[in-house]
């Protein structure tokens, strides 16, 4: 059997994935890039593959992201034009919903202000706004965004949703396409980004977007780091146009130590922890696609290059 190679700049993850494949897909021979057998690999399972690592594999037939997204593959500009698949974990939705609920409450119930006041030894209560008066907008209404929008609406929030194409969701006022984007944004108290990364959505969290929100709005980014124009966000937070942001994804990960996002008051940085596929789920889905590739069967969760997901 041809080996499968694991490629990542995250050395700890490589060890964790090796253990997961040994548990959940022992039929596969799994190697690292420095193994001489890696040259024979037909599948590369990747998370931020090192630059030049993919082009160094002459027998490669499939590039497999170990996450739901594929933008991290751009870490290796030598990526050849091969089929790309991603991992879709049914439990991913639950983890993302938990993270978003926490971030929503952080702003809605003024925990951000209470934490800032604690640093100054200030005792002050803020007006408790009913959920029905708190306007939340969710960008991206796929399997994650759609479920989270519906859950927030069920919790009583005034929820709007925006996506590339028209959707219908119970309790959610939906908008679609570029022509309805500004109407969607107007007066939102909180903007949540769960969009996939495409040419059309890159940099969408920018000054123009922030200006359309209600004064003092919050932003939650669980989409992709490349959705955010960092300088625009920092400027909006420092000026008071935005009250703050919760960020879980970044253009470069780990977030560089000199990034101003670490130290800008009002901005919370979390280490891409909102939700991710379990290591065993990754191993099982990659193994299934390895079997399908060997049998010339259709691959699971193959990415459409035109859409980017």
Q: Which of 224, 227, 243, 279 is catalytic?
A: 224
The per-residue pLDDT for range 204-250, each reduced to its tens digit, is: 999 999 999 999 999 999 999 999 999 999 999 999 999 999 999 99
* Cα(40)–Cα(97) distance, integer angstroms: 40
Of the candidates 108, 113, 227, 272, the residue annotated as catalytic is 272
Domain residue limits, the chain: 4-89+276-294, 92-269
Would the pTM of this model clear 0.95, i.e. be above it?
A: no
Residue-level pLDDT at 242: 98
State yes or no: is 126 an active-site residue. Answer: no
Q: How far is CA 298 from CA 21, 171, 283, 290, in A?
A: 22, 37, 18, 11
298 Cβ contact list (under 8 Å, min separation 6): 292
**Domain 4-89+276-294, CATH 3.40.50.720 — does that match?**
yes
What pLDDT was estimated at residue 90?
79
* DSSP code, position 299: P
**pLDDT for 89 beyond 90:** no
CATH of 92-269, one of 2.60.120.10, 3.40.50.720, 2.130.10.10, 3.10.20.440: 3.40.50.720
Average the pLDDT over 151-167 and give the result.
97
pLDDT tens by residue, 260-285: 999 999 999 999 999 988 999 999 99
38-47, 68-77, 297-306 — which one is most confidently predicted on average?
38-47
The reply to whether 4-89+276-294 and 92-269 are identical in fold is yes
Cβ-in-10-Å burial (0-12, 13-18, 19+) of 34 comes to: exposed
Mean pLDDT of 20-45: 97
- Cα–Cα distance between 181 and 216 in angstroms, integer? 20
Rg of the chain taking only CA atoms, in angstroms? 21
For residue 243, indicate whether it is catalytic. Answer: no
Average pLDDT over all residues of the chain = 95
Paired strand residues for 186:
none
Residue (of 204, 238, 222) closest to 271 by Cα position: 222
């Amino acid at each position: 059997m041809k080996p499968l190679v694991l490629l990542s700049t995250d050395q700890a993850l490589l060890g964790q994935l090796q253990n997961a494949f040994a548990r959940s897909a022992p039929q596969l021979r799994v190697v690292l890039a420095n193994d001489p057998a890696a040259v024979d690999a037909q599948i590369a399972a990747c998370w931020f593959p090192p630059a030049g690592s993919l082009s160094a594999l002459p027998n490669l037939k499939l590039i497999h992201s170990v996450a739901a997204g594929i933008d991290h593959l751009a870490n290796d500009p030598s990526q050849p034009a091969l089929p790309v698949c991603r991992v879709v974990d049914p439990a991913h939705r639950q983890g993302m919903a938990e993270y978003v609920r926490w971030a929503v409450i952080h702003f809605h119930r003024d925990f951000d202000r209470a934490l800032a006041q604690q640093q100054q030894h200030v005792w002050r209560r803020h007006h408790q706004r009913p959920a029905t008066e708190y306007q939340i907008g969710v960008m991206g209404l796929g399997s994650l965004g759609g479920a989270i929008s519906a859950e927030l609406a069920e919790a009583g929030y005034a929820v709007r949703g925006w996506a590339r194409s028209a959707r219908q969701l119970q309790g959610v006022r939906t908008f679609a396409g570029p022509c309805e984007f500004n109407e969607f944004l107007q007066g939102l108290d909180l903007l949540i980004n769960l969009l996939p990364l495409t040419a059309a959505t890159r940099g969408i969290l920018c000054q123009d977007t922030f200006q359309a929100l209600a004064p003092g709005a919050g932003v939650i980014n669980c989409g992709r780091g490349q959705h955010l124009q960092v300088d625009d966000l920092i400027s909006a937070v420092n000026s008071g146009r935005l009250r703050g942001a919760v960020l879980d994804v970044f253009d470069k990960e780990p977030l560089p130590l000199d990034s101003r996002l670490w130290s800008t008051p009002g901005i919370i940085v979390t280490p891409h922890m909102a939700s991710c596929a379990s290591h065993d789920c990754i191993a099982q889905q990659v193994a299934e696609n390895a079997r399908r590739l060997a049998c010339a069967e259709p691959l699971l969760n193959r990415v459409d290059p035109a859409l980017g997901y």
